[in-house]
Chain A
Amino acid sequence: MTQKTLTHLQRLEAESIHIMREVVAEAENPVMLYSIGKDSAVMLHLARKAFYPAPPPFPLLHVDTTWKFRDMYALRGKAAEQAGMELLVYQNPEALARGINPFDHGPLHTDMWKTEGLKQALDLHNFDVAFGGARRDEEKSRAKERVFSFRSANHRWDPKTQRPELWRLYNARKAKGESVRVFPISNWTELDIWQYIHLEGIEIVPLYFAAPRPTVERDGLILMVDDDRFPLREGEVPQMRSVRFRTLGCYPLTGAVESTATELPQVIQEMLLTTTSERQGRAIDRDQAASMEKKKQEGYF
């Protein structure tokens, strides 16, 4: 009898592919949310594997805030093209008109561009299932998130009405107007993601690798001055620092870490020896321990 021991990455890969195929078989109009980060890159790579030789049979959707790093915008179109997928970019017109930005508007920035923008984009295209790259290890409230997470017609998440998920059986049935967020990489950890990127040679945004970049230090975060929209405070002079990013979001909200890791194995080495968790570089979670859960109930991914 042929025996082959599957590694943890092979088992995770098989599970993610199974989930994606299940969605395509049962959904009417699925979409993959693509945030250009490393988790999205892995999710996209898995989708290509799941449906090969066909291209993934759904479009990519980027809910844009206009405030992402320039390097991210550069990779966005390229990745979609390589996968042979349509790329949809949505910007909340109201946020655009009102010039909502992270410097002047604080939490409103995330709320209008991301939370509202996502709802508007899903409604506009009538998407009934949206793949997201969230992982259960990211944050405590996500540890209980289902793989198939149901949203009411107004996109709210109710922890009490989520369905039990047994074996590999996902119940994707829903009433008209309801939608599902599906997280195919729920069971991957940050280390799994990095190892897989390394093993599979997946292209990621260069910002994950250390390079000299113009930065300022503000409120305990090292921020990159990625373009001239960055309003410098009095006395602030951008300094070149060798930095990299552990997560990517809107550049004014994403803290860098000082590093000299220019290759993936070094990045992984630093990650394993480091003593702060991944989300710490994100300003959004700092308010209080349960802030992510609140955001989720409101419809943020």
Chain B
Amino acid sequence: MTDPVYQTEALLAEDIDAYLVAHQHKTMLRFITCGSVDDGKSTLIGRLLYDSKMIFEDQLAALEADSKRVGTQGGEIDFALLVDGLAAEREQGITIDVAYRFFATEKRKFIVADTPGHEQYTRNMVTGASTTDLAVILIDARKGVLTQTRRHSYLVHLLGVRHLVLAVNKMDLVGYDQQVFDSIVADYTDFARSIGIDSFVPIPISGLAGDNITSRSANTPWFEGPTLLAHLEEIEVDSGADQAQPFRMPVQWVNRPNLDFRGFSGFVASGAIRPGEAVRVLPSGKTSRVARIVSLEGDRDLAVAGESVTLTLADEIDCSRGQVIVAAQSPLEVADQFETTLVWMDEAEMVPGRAYWLKIGAQTVSATVHQPKYEVNVNTQEHLAAKTLDLNAIGVANVTTDREIPFAPYAENRDLGGFILIDKITNQTVAAGMIHFALRRAQNIHWQATDIGRDHHAGMKHQKPAVLWLTGLSGSGKSTIANIVEKKLARMNRHTFLLDGDNVRHGLNKDLGFTEADRIENIRRVGEVAKLMTDAGLIVITAFISPFRSERDMVRGMMQPGEFIEVFIDTPLEVAEARDVKGLYAKARAGQLKNFTGIDSPYEAPENAEIRIDTSRMTPEEAAEVIVERLVP
């Protein structure tokens, strides 16, 4: 029995220079192992590290001590302890996050993403799979294809992992029975076809006993396929396929050390480029040629997918971070509305209509997510109706960005079709997304240019348009104050319009209720109307509870800089509730009114409002005076 891992040792001892030359030309494979708690996943990884001599004696001594103390193998070496990292997890006996392990053979360096198999941790598996070329799906030979197996397979397929290994583990516990193996493979084949997996490589193994891991097992003479490690060493890595695609490089950073040099730095997402070749910058569409590929070691004559490079162009054209340099003859699509698959990763559920940051390539834009078309049951792959997505849910939803972005469908390119969503307030990464296709090409929709512009409208009225956005609890006095403000401005011959929360709900927004999503849509529409009115030159006064910070910020973002004036009508809840002009607080307290701000729905007070009105110290008249003073000094 020859062991591929140990062959290198002779060379290592005899001729270190030859060894180094050989090892500098190793390739790299990233893979993920997926299995449930008891499938022996950690044991398998521990075994790979152990067999490839990545465990040193002192670590082994610690491992032996730990195995006796908390091990599950009756004092024998518990390989799982090698890979269970954080203290809290070790005590619980499960891994709860993504850990990365490293080992190398004479042919390859491997990076293993180790992710837990628990149901609630879809997030971790998706994270781990996003960077891998191959997935090892572990099955307990005694249990066969389980719900978890289906879930793991669906997830790695969803993330576009092209190579799949079905490792039927614990063969020692079923007497190395070929029939058991064959029937599991048959079951899995049916399932794999049903979700679009074309091919996979099944291998019977035992992580604990070491069968078919690094060396062929005498216990499975009926098995003719490769050992797990041999397969991992032989499989073709994806970079070749990426290089065959047209050239695409998102510009990460513009290198401008002095006036004579302007380089565009980025990670080549696909294809290859040489000096002299024609390129196009998207979304602007400007074209030029690559002048140089600059590096510390001197100019290069080729850059390929997977490299971080710096290019200079022959012409001085505008190009900044987030734009994409592509082969001139095969441009990318540019759009601002997409159908996507979203994997929700945050404790706080998705809020349709809310604006999130969307990061794709080297670009971050503002984007709104629409109500999901459906949610996918990850266990059965059934489509379910859904109004939102919560932690670990996967669904298909449309996403609209606030500007055009160059992209490729995720199935074609991970770098140009994968994105994350970031909450604008907490800054947390709340979702991972994969673009299917553009819903409409943005370049086909033109903004109708009008001859009489907003400056003209405002000029005729001799005023500067503005939005006075009054926010505060129900009963805080917003409408009362807004009304006085408008009267005062009218007396000063200012052209105004008052948009009141209750009134708008009788017409424009009468289809909306009071759920979080409906409240956001309510504010979005009011924002759009207010924007049109400022274009018409008006001073708009609004009186809406507008409880969420992110929606107020969204409206602020719609307006010209300086035109949005946030006015916080600051009245303590007890005071507003005591007034209870419309009797709403009483109803809410009695449970007759759901989602009432301040009672069972939060009010997020402004942090940097332009004006704060403390109603405990001011009459409505005085408050109005303060606001008008700020607008017309």
Contacts and interface: CB of A to CB of B under 8 A. Distances in A.
B27 A21 contact: no
A227 interface: no
B323 to A, nearest CB: 13
B243 A1 contact: yes
A13 B127 CA distance: 22
A144 B85 CA distance: 7
A4 B265 contact: no
A183 to B, nearest CB: 11
B100 interface: yes
A166 B432 contact: yes
B102 A189 contact: yes
B609 interface: no
A7 B88 CA distance: 37
A24 B362 CA distance: 12
Interface stretch (B9-17, B328-336, B456-464, B549-557): B9-17
Nearest to A280: B58
Contacts of A265: 16-17, 20
Contacts of A136: 100, 102
Interface in A255-294: 265-266, 268-269, 272-277, 280, 289-290, 293
A137 B102 contact: yes
Contact of A7 (B26, B104, B255, B345): B26
Contact of B109 (A8, A159, A164, A272): A8
A163 B429 contact: yes
Contacts of A187: 100, 102, 111
Given A53-B255, A275-B57, A280-B58, A2 B304 contact: yes
Contacts of A18: 252, 267, 308
Contacts of B263: 53
Contacts of B578: none
A108 interface: no
Contact of B427 (A166, A167, A173): A173
Contacts of B310: 52
B267 A14 contact: yes
Contact of B307 (A6, A163, A175): A6
A161 to B, nearest CB: 8
Contacts of A54: 255-257
Interface string B1-37: 0000000010011001101100111111000000000
Contact of A164 (B24, B123, B415): B123
Contacts of B295: 49, 52
Interface string A2-26: 1111111111111101100110110
B545 interface: no
B86 interface: yes
Contacts of A24: 253
Contacts of B48: none
Contacts of B82: 140
B126 interface: yes
B239 A166 contact: no
A199 B24 contact: yes
Contact of A166 (B26, B57, B85, B126): B126
A53 B261 contact: yes
A233 interface: no
B253 A21 contact: yes
Contacts of B127: 164-166
Chain A interface residue number, banded: 35 or more
A84 B175 CA distance: 65
Contacts of B476: none
Nearest to B303: A4
A109 B417 CA distance: 49
Contacts of B214: none
Given A8-B109, A144-B99, A171 B296 contact: no
Interface string A233-262: 000000000000000000000000000000
Interface stretch (A115-123, A190-198, A211-219): A190-198
Contacts of B90: 290
B437 interface: no
B418 A169 contact: yes
A168 interface: yes
A144 B86 contact: yes
A9 B114 CA distance: 22
A167 B130 contact: yes
Given A143-B101, A164-B124, A7 B302 contact: no
Contacts of B543: none
Contacts of B62: 289
A114 interface: no
Interface string B79-106: 0001111111010000001111110100
Nearest to B265: A21
A5 B257 CA distance: 32
B123 A25 contact: no
Contact of A12 (B28, B66, B99): B28
A198 B26 CA distance: 15
A55 B82 CA distance: 41
B59 A277 contact: yes
Given A8-B109, A52-B310, A273-B13, A143 B100 contact: yes
Contacts of B573: none
Nearest to A140: B85
B102 A22 contact: no
A195 B428 contact: no
Given A49-B295, A143-B101, A199-B24, 5 more contacts: A4-B243, A4-B302, A8-B27, A171-B422, A175-B427
Interface of B: 9, 12-13, 16-17, 19-20, 23-28, 56-59, 62, 66, 82-88, 90, 97-102, 104, 108-109, 111, 114, 123-124, 126-127, 130-131, 239-240, 243-244, 252-253, 255-257, 261, 263, 265-267, 272, 274, 294-296, 302, 304, 306-308, 310, 321, 345, 357, 359-360, 362, 414-415, 418-420, 422, 427-429, 432
7 contacts: A6-B304, A7-B27, A140-B83, A171-B422, A273-B13, A277-B58, A290-B90
Interface of A: 1-15, 17-18, 21-22, 24-25, 48-55, 136-137, 140-141, 143-144, 159, 163-169, 171, 173-175, 186-187, 189, 191-192, 195, 198-199, 265-266, 268-269, 272-277, 280, 289-290, 293
